[in-house]
Structure 1
Amino acid sequence: MTEIIEQAVRDILTACTPRKVILYAEKRTMATDKLKAFSLCVILPDDADARAVRTHLHLAITVDVPVSLSVYTIGEWDDLISDKTSYAAWIARKGRVIYDQTA
């Protein structure tokens, strides 16, 4: 994991208390393999307001590359991953957990 992604995770952990953070996409330049953008999924406790936290996280992340965020509560996540055709289920299959509060 690159320093840029690690910094984004540190920013997220400062801004909220996620249960999990999943890295599910990285875009890199062909010539230099330099990171150009990446996507994270943040799973929050059920009592969190995922929409409000998502907005707050976009402002809190300090890295210089674009970051796409998908933010769900545990309940939303559990419901969505049970549908194998959902975007969340795809993230669960293809992504890599890079922070797990329960681990």
Structure 2
Amino acid sequence: MFLLQSTFKMKLSIAIAVLMLVFAAHTDAQEAEKSIEDHFTEFGAKLKEFTDGISVKTKDVVDKVGDSEFVTKTRTWFTEQFDKLKTKMDETFQKQ
């Protein structure tokens, strides 16, 4: 009796494995039958996903650079120099 049960379990597991292989092969065959339109649609979706990811990363980098101490100090320095130049120009060429 034990021998029959173990043989049955072995045949059942082999049958399940074979069914899974057949299902996988059938699924792959269906995927291979995509039309050119499907390929272009899929490519467009992947390209959009890629560009969206790049734009988010680029925006993050620009925000970090814009908020950095070096950029802030440089911007302040240029503003101060421009204000000094403007004041000097106003003093030199007073309106009469």
Superposed pair shares fold, TM > 0.5: no
Whose Rg is larger? Answer: 2
Bigger strand share: 1
Bigger helix share: 2
Higher RCO (CA 8 Å, separation ≥ 6 residues): 1
With the shorter chain as reference, the TM-score category is under 0.3
